[in-house]
């Protein structure tokens, strides 16, 4: 880390060591890929030997993402410390192979809550509390706290939304203030914009980008680097026009790629890091992306293709299951196979429709979720997987539904259910956790974050993990009812992993099945490109073996 003395305009010393700050903003429209751009910058810096700390800023008034509907917001990602956050933090963890914390997630709600708590405690010494300097000061403080705790060389801060959003103005202002307070060559602004292609002739248009740059300049920030999102690489004349009208030296293309994991390699090739070296006055270093490149090549070079069914009620918005299909990408690259996703909407799914939907799949995943909608369809899918020897992986709610399915159809408890769906069930094989019974506030109150589990030896899960002590992330209120465990296990389903005190069922499996495994956890949150999660790796391997068996039979 570079050592300097930093003072603000009121001469307050912040730190004796100075990281570099890279702010990533977006213009024109959201959803252009700021998270992938931020992750790519971070992984390239990391490959050069730097310590990188990513931060995601969201302008919504929610304290965290936990109570937001996936259809509206996308997947809720969970960190080890229980933080429920934006899915971009999942990209940061995957790209950097790291575990983040609450320090890496900032929302307007979180900042306002902190400011108001300080005001109530009298920490502002009788002053009138204002957006500037108190709110912007708290934003800067949170960014610097994360930098200091991580001892980072670089802090990459992604400001969600677009520069024109009302809720982002305080974050843009805080970034401007950090730029004015830090030493020269310590802050870089990377602005991601849209260059649409218009008309049948396919002409690239730079006007939206020009206006977006002007908007940012009006807020006191002159972007150092423009990354232009378009279907194809930018034409030279468009690059020159953006440089001229935007008063910017560095313009980088950001075209469509086959995989998000190609982005670091592409940006490195296009000179993005050279531009950052220039802005931050860095000594150029060679990036080491050899393993990353091998992973990307493996994604492309699968010897066969497997079809995976993902069942759920949010299938119209694939972002709700981002970590699942990224985990599949990691595992299929490891196993040198390609994969297709078949989305199964389980609301009102009939038995015949289930058979028709699943007769050509090689594996079935039942993911997490809440509520009653679609669960009977999911249970039908689990029955199909169990009875037809289709590899099955149940995640969180998927494990609870697998327990219900087995209790109904094998143990004979015909109305087995969870009180989350049917409070009057005679056989609540799933019930609310003891610690959750008196919970009143819904936000941040579930069993959240990383918890340990002990796996039984000589089980499928033990073989997959290669150890007996594991830790996985959770997000749930209900669990398997221990009153039914003996009855269920007597019929062949095994609970192969439990909490250390033996009270909570963490894993189940069907030993007589080619691959029938479920977990109360969310293993998809811990899978990495270069280190696929053991459960997903085992599941994909089982799916690939099924194809091999079928091909051998056909021949």
Active site (annotated) includes residue 543: no
pLDDT per residue over 8-17, tens digit each? 433 333 343 6
Q: Record the tokens describing residue 204, joined without a space.
A: 């690239």
Give mean pLDDT, residues 77-97.
95
196 near 255, Cβ under 8 Å? no
Alpha carbon distance 155, 53 (integer Å): 5
Position 231 scores a pLDDT of: 94
Q: Which position among 73, 474, 524, 533 bears the catalytic label?
A: 524
Residue 409 has pLDDT above 90, yes or no: yes
CATH of 2-293, one of 3.40.50.300, 3.30.1370.100, 3.40.50.720, 3.40.50.970: 3.40.50.300
Q: How many helices (H) and strands (E) does the chain have?
A: 18, 24
Q: Which position among 396, 472, 476, 479 bears the catalytic label?
A: 396
Active site (annotated) includes residue 73: no
Find the helix packing angle between 263-270 and 290-300, rounded to 10°: 120
126 or 491: which carries more pLDDT confidence?
491
Alpha carbon distance 357, 289 (integer Å): 40
In the chain, where are the structural domains located?
2-293, 302-554
Residue 481 has pLDDT above 80, yes or no: yes
Residue 414 has pLDDT above 50, yes or no: yes
Q: Record the tokens describing residue 288, joined without a space.
A: 């080491």
Alpha carbon distance 171, 107 (integer Å): 10
Position 437 scores a pLDDT of: 66
Residue 446 has pLDDT above 80, yes or no: no
Alpha carbon distance 326, 517 (integer Å): 19
Q: Is 113 exposed, middle or buried (0-12, 13-18, 19+ CB in 10 A)?
A: middle
Q: For residue 26, what are the β-bridge partners? A: 192
Residue 470 has pLDDT above 50, yes or no: yes
- Count other Cβ atoms within 10 Å, centred on residue 316: 10
Position 6 scores a pLDDT of: 43
Q: Record the tokens describing residue 181, joined without a space.
A: 């307070």
pLDDT per residue over 338-377, tens digit each? 999 999 998 888 999 999 999 999 999 999 887 778 899 9
Give mean pLDDT, residues 473-483.
93
The answer to whether 2-293 and 302-554 have equal CATH topology is: yes
Position 96 scores a pLDDT of: 97
% of residues, the chain, pLDDT over 90:
81
Find the helix packing angle between 88-96 and 322-335, rounded to 10°: 20
- Count other Cβ atoms within 10 Å, centred on residue 129: 13
265 near 292, Cβ under 8 Å? yes
Alpha carbon distance 160, 265 (integer Å): 24
Per CATH, the architecture of 302-554 is what?
3-Layer(aba) Sandwich (3.40)
By three-state DSSP, how is residue 244 classified? helix
Q: For residue 319, what are the β-bridge partners? A: none
pLDDT per residue over 285-321, tens digit each? 999 999 999 999 999 887 899 999 999 876 667 788 9
Q: Which position among 250, 513, 522, 533 bears the catalytic label?
A: 522
Alpha carbon distance 313, 248 (integer Å): 45
Active site (annotated) includes residue 179: no
Alpha carbon distance 302, 307 (integer Å): 13
Alpha carbon distance 64, 102 (integer Å): 10
């Amino acid at each position: 880390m570079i050592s300097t003395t930093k003072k603000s305009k009121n001469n307050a010393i912040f730190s004796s060591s100075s990281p570099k700050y890279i702010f990533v903003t977006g213009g024109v429209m959201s959803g252009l890929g700021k998270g992938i751009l931020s992750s790519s910058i971070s992984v390239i810096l990391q490959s050069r030997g730097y310590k990188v700390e990513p931060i995601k800023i969201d302008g919504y008034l929610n304290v965290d993402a936990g109570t937001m509907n996936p259809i509206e917001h996308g997947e809720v990602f969970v960190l080890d410390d229980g933080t429920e956050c934006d899915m971009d933090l999942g990209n940061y963890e995957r790209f950097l192979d790291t575990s983040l914390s609450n320090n890496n997630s900032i929302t307007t709600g979180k900042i306002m809550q902190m400011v108001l708590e300080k005001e109530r405690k009298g920490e502002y010494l009788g002053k009138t509390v204002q957006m500037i300097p108190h709110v912007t000061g708290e934003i800067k403080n949170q960014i610097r706290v994360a930098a200091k705790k991580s001892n980072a060389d670089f802090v990459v801060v992604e400001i969600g939304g677009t520069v024109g959003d009302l809720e982002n103005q305080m974050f843009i202002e805080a970034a401007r203030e950090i730029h004015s307070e830090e030493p020269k060559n310590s802050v870089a602004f990377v602005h991601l914009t849209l260059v649409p292609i218009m008309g049948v002739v396919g002409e690239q248009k730079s006007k939206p980008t020009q206006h977006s740059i002007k908007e940012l300049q009006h807020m006191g920030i002159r972007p150092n680097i423009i990354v232009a999102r378009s279907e194809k690489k930018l034409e030279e004349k468009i690059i020159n026009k953006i440089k001229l009208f935007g008063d910017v030296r560095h313009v980088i293309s950001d075209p469509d790629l086959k995989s998000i994991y190609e982005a670091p390699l592409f940006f490195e090739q296009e000179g993005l890091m050279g531009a950052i070296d220039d802005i931050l006055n860095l000594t150029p270093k060679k990036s080491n992306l050899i393993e990353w490149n091998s992973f990307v090549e493996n994604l492309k070079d699968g010897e066969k293709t497997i079809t995976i069914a993902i069942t759920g009620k949010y299938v119209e918005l694939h972002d709700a299951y981002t970590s699942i299909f990224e985990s599949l990408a990691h595992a299929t690259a490891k196993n040198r196979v390609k994969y297709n996703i078949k989305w199964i909407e389980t609301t009102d799914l009939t038995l015949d429709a289930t058979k028709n939907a699943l007769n050509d799949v090689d594996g079935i995943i039942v993911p997490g979720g809440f509520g009653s909608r679609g669960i009977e369809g999911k249970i039908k899918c689990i029955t199909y997987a169990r009875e037809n020897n289709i590899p099955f992986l149940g995640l969180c709610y998927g494990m609870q539904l697998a327990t219900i399915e087995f209790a109904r159809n094998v143990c004979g408890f015909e109305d087995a259910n969870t009180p989350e769906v049917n409070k009057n069930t005679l056989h609540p094989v799933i019930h609310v956790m003891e610690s959750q019974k008196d919970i009143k506030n819904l936000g941040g109150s579930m069993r959240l974050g990383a918890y340990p589990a002990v796996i039984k030896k000589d089980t499928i899960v033990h073989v997959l993990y290669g150890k007996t002590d594991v830790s996985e992330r959770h997000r749930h209120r209900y669990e398997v009812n221990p009153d039914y465990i003996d009855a269920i296990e007597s019929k062949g389903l095994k609970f192969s992993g439990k909490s250390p005190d033996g009270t909570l069922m963490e894993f189940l499996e069907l030993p007589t099945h080619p691959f029938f495994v479920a977990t109360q956890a969310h293993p998809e949150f811990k899978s990495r490109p270069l280190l696929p999660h053991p459960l997903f790796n085992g599941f994909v391997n089982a799916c690939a073996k099924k194809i091999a068996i079928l091909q051998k039979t056909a021949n």
